[in-house]
Amino acid sequence: MEEPQDYKTPKALLVAVIGMGVLIVVGVVALAGVLIHRMSSKPTQPSLPPVALSDTIPSPNMPLAHATLPTGVQLLSVTRVQDNVLALHVTEHGQDRILLWNVLTGQVRTGLDVGTAH
């Protein structure tokens, strides 16, 4: 009867497996270090580009646009929607609304009512 021969793992395979194991451990330690560093550091504010402010008076040739809001309506913010359309965030008696204002025609259109979160 023949004795079973012991299987010998090639040395190159052993070196490759051990090397990959070491790389996995080093990668996990590095990732943990980066996470700990980011969580312990203070958050930085994003830097905004500088805005050039001028003290010049607008040209008298420049047309002025006026939006007439009903009495009791308070303007909270203005956002550009399109080239000549602005969204006006207004509040009236505690109810927030969005109005659309066409600057060229001067029309103020009803946008939508913003419900309050309960």
pLDDT of residue 117: 52
- From the list 33, 15, 13, the residue with the least C-alpha distance to 25 is 33
Q: Which residues contact 111 (CB under 8 A, 6 or more apart)?
A: 87, 97, 98, 99, 100
> Which phi and psi angles does 88 have, rounded to 5°?
-105, 120
Are residues 111 and 96 in contact, defined by beta-carbon separation less than 8 angstroms?
no
Give pLDDT tens digits for 42-100. Answer: 877 777 777 666 666 666 666 666 777 778 888 888 888 888 888 988 888 888 888 88
> What's the Cα-to-Cα distance from 98 to each of 26, 65, 82, rounded to whole Å?
54, 19, 15
pLDDT of residue 84: 84
Give pLDDT tens digits for 3-25. Answer: 667 888 899 999 999 999 999 99
